[in-house]
A and B are shown apart, each in its own frame.
Chain A
Amino acid sequence: MIDPRYRLKDHSRESQLISTRLIIAGVLSVLLFGIIIFRLVILQIVEFEHFDSLSNRNRIDIEPLPPQRGLIYDRNGVLLAENIPTFSLELIPEKVPDIDATLAELTTLLSLTEEDIEAFKTRRTRHRAFEEVVLRSQLTEEEVALFSVNRHRFPGVDVVGRLIRHYPQGALFAHAVGYVGRINQQEMQEIDRQNYKGTLQIGKNGVEKQYEDLLHGTVGYRQVETNVQGRTVRELYSEPATGGEDLYLHLDINLQRTAAEALGDYSGSVVALDTRNGGVLALVSKPDYDPNAFVTGISVKDYAELRDNPEQPLFNRALRGHYPPGSTFKPFVALAGLELNVVTEQSRTYCPGFYSLPGNDHRYRCWRRQGHAHVDLKSAMAESCDVYFYDLAHALGIDRLHGFLDYFGFGHQTGIDVPGESRGLSPSREWKRAQRNQAWFPGETLISGIGQGFNQTTPVQLAHATATLGMMGTAFKPQLVRATKADTDEGMQLIGAQQADSLPIQQSRNWQAVIESMVEVIHGRRGTARHTGEGLPFKFAGKTGTAQVFGIAQDAKYDAETLAKKLHDHALFVAFAPAEDPEIAIAVVVENGGSGSGVAAPIARKLIDVYFGIETEKEADESIDE
């Protein structure tokens, strides 16, 4: 039986019927597509010229108007970062009939180098044919004039003026202000690309990076009609860019310059803070480098030279340099001893020139081999007696010492408004267990008490802790930027000081005692820095430090002459002035400087002189001579 669904009798007739209809549909389809092709012929052949000219001549371009980057001033209004005009030769490949011939002609006209041509060719591959490609940047005025006269010979090539960043003070502020450079691939991912249309540079370092959002501003637009060559025929509409905000820093160019000059050829760092608000008055790290080299892209060779320099000029020592604080640590240890009632101001210790832990004959040496005999807080601080502080540290124990030092920010970032700050290291029992999987030895507490051993501090930390000490516990976050000024605003917007919690010190007498002992360092008869305070109308407080770069054997003697310079001790000095009601706190670190009192302290004194406008006798004589 045949399945009734197939209806055999109808099948061939239906098949015939459907085939006929399929053929009719096919013919209809071809006819319909005939209409489409007819229409296409009209558009693409008959009206080709009309549409071609519409496509070519009346292109509407939208050009970004990049905002002008905010300027940076020091506290006196001296420009630290500005924008200067520069001209570059740019080429739109699509508009140039014969690129090789054009390049050859331009080479003879403007003496382009092989490097220029090579760089152009690699850049060209990254752009579309209708986008302009830089052929040569930073043209001289003469070259601009030369090209302008011959411009008609080079369709698709033009001189374009731009503003680029310039640092008039050169290397002086490199580590504080930082620099801008070409936006790289990674930064491209992080920024709002719309807002960076037409902008080539971005803050890479220092204030330039930290305040990128404020400095950059908001992009504007211009809608223009362009002709066949791509030149603007007329402007249709424009929305101006909003320039970035200007920044006014706490930095003082006089202090900065004094500090940099005083460091001379030494590597090292000087940080000066305004104790009353945390403002950074000077931030110097030596050696330094010229930030202008980075703006339009530093050459590989120059960069390699900076990177491979053994003195590491690119390294920001003020923020990232790890130094043992040495004896500059002693005021903080002393305060801990007083506050935790381990010692009193009058407690006396006998210094025979060494210290031994009970039941152990290992000798921890005092820097003065013959000893200091009987010392109390004031004389121990003034003469920097190590034995007094070994004893004190031993009595405190590492746990209490570490906890107390925490208050002053050792082992923590100060929160300064420059990226890349290091935390330093304030060792503790837990730290040693976690990092080295070792128990804490009592001897390590002793050397912690004189700022050696595991302790690592950055110059910014030292200055910050010293300011906190001078202000008797009122701590401010170090801050470079004092005020901002928007493009549209008349006046400046001050950035308020950021105060941290006050330190939990109960007895104000303890502050007094430590500060008095630090005054003794400068102004006392036997103070280690007794020459530093001469000829000042006020007293200031300070502490010298000499940090060992390498360990000296038990009974050996340190002999600077026979040691390579690399192994000389680091010279340190911290101070705040005036001792009563301080205004400025200073930390000086001179790498391999040898002695804190001889090398580091005079640098701080120079800053104090400049800050308070004190003319020393010698300078006064010179000014009379002039």
Chain B
Amino acid sequence: MSGYTQTRGALPTVRRLILYILLFALVSIAASGTSQLLGLIITPASGNDSGRTTGLALALAFVLIAGPLTFVLWRSLAKRLLDSEENSAPAWALYMAAMYVTSLIVASTAMFSLLGNLLLDHTDGWQSKLSTALIWAGVWWWQVRIIKDSRRTPRTLPQLSGILSSWYGLVLAAVATVSALTALFSATVGLLIPNAWVGTPWWLEVLSQLPWILGGLLLWWWHWIQQRVAKIHGGFSDVAYILMGILAAGAMMLGGTGYLLYLVIRLLWHQPTAPLLTPIPLALAGALVGSVIFTYSWSALSQRSAETKNAARLVTSGLGLAAGASGLGVCVNALLAALVPPLAGDRGGDLLLAGVVWLLWGAGLWVWAWQPGRKADAHDRRVYLVVVFGLSAVVALVALLIIGFKVFTFLLESNGLFSGLIDAIRAPFGLLVATALVSIYHFVIWRADREVLETTTSPTGKSHTKILLVASGDTSELRTVLAKATGAKVQVIPRSGEEYMATSEGLLAAIGSIPEDSRHIMLLVEGPGSIRVIELAE
């Protein structure tokens, strides 16, 4: 029962922490020393000898001191790790993830930049890059072998390395694709307006990004598909999925498409000149890559739990809300700008265009994800509402402070014009109006939710504080059902054996049969359809 080992004080944790940090440092130093040594060996000696001797001395010091120490430390740790208490410690899992991801990042960036440089025909320093890539790839391969070794593989958080590496590969490929597409589209835009470019021609830029794109995709594919990271659901995997696949990709998609819309519509009013056209390729590339990742992540949500789907919907509506609210703020900003005629320059048309574009686009996304007026589960939205209130409060506070500062500056200086004051506060005032409207709407929702929560906390009419459920199989859905039905804290102790799975109807029926005043109960599944209710002492 490895889940129940008690730690005997802080000593084992501190010992593990120190030893693993030491091991990480030693492995990194030995690896960088070896790679530098290898790089110097294969570099032909040129006239610059002083730099070479210093580098050689450093590399030799690293290798000859850190190398044997790593070996000794690893031998002693490896023996300890055969013990199940050691290899289920979180410190071991964290060390493995850190070492795995670090070696992967160093090796992959060295390899891809080497390939990119070779494609561009820049061959200086290829030896050091090649040796870095090879040595750190060796370290990574060593970590892979440890993970595959079933006696020593970390038992808590076993998938951490896989999850982090798959997202790293995807980010790498995405950024490189955006750069390549930007270069390609800039060349297309350059056909419309003749402007002399300096630097590398577009096909070379695209070519140099190719190793990064293919390499990133390869890393992502190897972890996501081959190592079946995609099949891991729950816990950190879902959090990472929402953060990267929904939030980050959604922000890129929203930002790219909104900016693109603004730039394109703006072209209808002005002459297409170079400053107006140059941002378009980047916006288009960002929009395309972001949409691809976002739509794929959204459609693949169907394989995940209902909680994750709900969280994804809330995150998307949050993105739309942020964009729409700022758009509204900018519209108010443009309103005030139109009231104050400037001495020269822009009269506020572009500003209003930007505001309207962001408002419509953000509000559209928000309506699609949030579906206002729909009956929703009050429990799931609480965190979201609290976050919205918190952020609105911070933004409104900052805006108020800026407005106050400008107003007092105006009042204390005797020469200011009132129109100058209006112009100075138009931006924070717009934000203030937008956050006020957002807060009012969500406050109404919050109040309605609270009424719903108060009247439906316990449909069974009883309130228990703690429920202990002993059952086998996948109990996460049962846990949520129990928690919602009784409002109690549910703790699950997994039971071995396959025939002790419970159903939610059986559980609710069992709860209905216990006396009113028990606050701490245990539901023990004794067989299919048979649940025993045990009252525990306080």
Chain A complexes with chain B: no
Interface residues of A (CB under 8 A from B): none
